[in-house]
A and B are shown apart, each in its own frame.
Chain A
Amino acid sequence: MASQQRPGRLFRNMSAKVASIPMILTALVVFIGGTAWTVLYSFTDSKLLPRLRFVGFDQYERLWSANRWLVSIENLAIYGVLSLIFQLVIGFMLAVLLDQKIRFENTFRTIFLYPFALSFIVTGLVWQWILNPDFGIQSVVRGLGFESFTFDPLYNADIVIYGILIAGLWQGTGLVMCLMLAGLRGIDEDIWKAARVDGIPAWKTYIQIIIPMMRPVFITTLVIITSGIVKLYDLVVAQTGGGPGLASEVPAKYVYDFMFQAQNLGQGFAASTMMLLTVAIIVVPWAYLEFGGKKRG
């Protein structure tokens, strides 16, 4: 109101700059600074406390020769690929079903999405109970007369990760369905009319016209699911605690255990740097493809 003369460059738009201080600090100090710090210290022999005594790639060599780490990586890969595929496929199909102008759409949508509101801890504990071999599905089916029926994923090292996958899918598919449904609703009704006039069957319209048109939605969903997968931690802690033995360990748990329990910070840093690298391998090419032309943020 008061002064309308142009202020100096730095002070122009001052309020916006002040308002952005938390964002700038978070971006620079935590995200860039913190990441650089961890990467730097992953080359040291830090144990209980971080210290700058460099040992080259020692921590990484130890990491990649640790059986527990290899199991963790394998588990995450299986869980990641399968949950990506199943969430996209199931989520999309549910969205298509809900998009058929059905009755009680809201009821169905509410039911499919509610697990997403629950924490991974709650999810993990419920499924731990349902998959409990002495009381859960296995015992119920045996009680029906199938005495030799065996379904105990949480106690079988070979398939434990699939037990976790069941719980993860139950929790997360609703979100994918919701994103897909929003995408389907965003498609112009005229396209459907045109396809119908041309006599193209519905399933063909979905595959050849609708899905390609929903590319942005699929990409957003893909990125959301992927960044969730890497974080996989609470679910495992609650459902199996990494067991039986080491069979359901995941990288995030490896990091936590080495940093805060085994007091071997260097290992934790090296492991978390590997997690970062994995994410970078996925995100950087995607970002390059999406925003390569520097169109927008």
Chain B
Amino acid sequence: MTAFDQASAALATFTPVRSKGQRWRRRYGIATLGATIILAWLLIALACPYLTSYSPDAVDVSLRLRPPSAMHWLGTDELGRDVLTRLLYGSRISLVTGFAVVILGAAFGTLVGGIAAFMRGRGEELIMRLTDLVLCFPPIILALAIAAALGIGTMNTIIAMLVVWWPKFARLAHSLVLVQRSQEYVEAAVVIGLKPMRILARHIIPNAVGPLIVLVTLDLGNAIITFAGLSFLGLGVVPPTPEWGSMVAEGRELVEQWWVAAFPGFAILSVVLGFNFLGDGVRDWLDPKARQR
């Protein structure tokens, strides 16, 4: 069969116009799934005292290491605490730290990078070399060192993560503003006589914000994994605070009692997948050209 025959055959079966719904689902189906997962976890974080009759800190050694059952759906841990309850409560700290690190880091980084791109010259050079310097450390190792220096605790871990988090946003914001600055529509705004702040607020930011939003969304999952990792290493939260990373750490040697470590890890995976799905969707929505990839 020649290509020509194939083409004519294809033409015969081709339905030229997809329905609006089909196109929407093809484009945003995955993103909707991601948004649903995140929304579910947010609701859980808000409502967890009402979702379970156990307390996350109730120690009962007689109940230790029970496998999943009707009483304890996800079993109990070494101290006899209900794994499901701790898992639900654990969503609070993961989501709060994730959002805190990314939003604060993005805000600071964007501000610094944007200012650097707008002022040019020595200040720009200085700021960008500083980001280079932070970026020359593998992030989690640097965060580990800083967190260790500051001492264990959620607040300290967030601070440590912020130190390593802002440079990538500064980098992105810097390049975005630089690109927009030389666009003709910005030059047109200069020719009109608009003041720099207005040009930044009205013209540059609305056009540069898309990739930043995408990075923020994709990065939320990243921040949650990193915080859980630091907690796993014993730096994130002070026990007995329920937290997914430290729950996995507690169960990491219990290969026979797999439920203690397995389920909190699933929770992390689901949230991170959710943010990744959502981030891809947001990217498609903001930049239709990226869909070609």
A, B bound: no
Which positions in B face A, CB cutoff 8 Å? none
Which positions in A face B, CB cutoff 8 Å? none
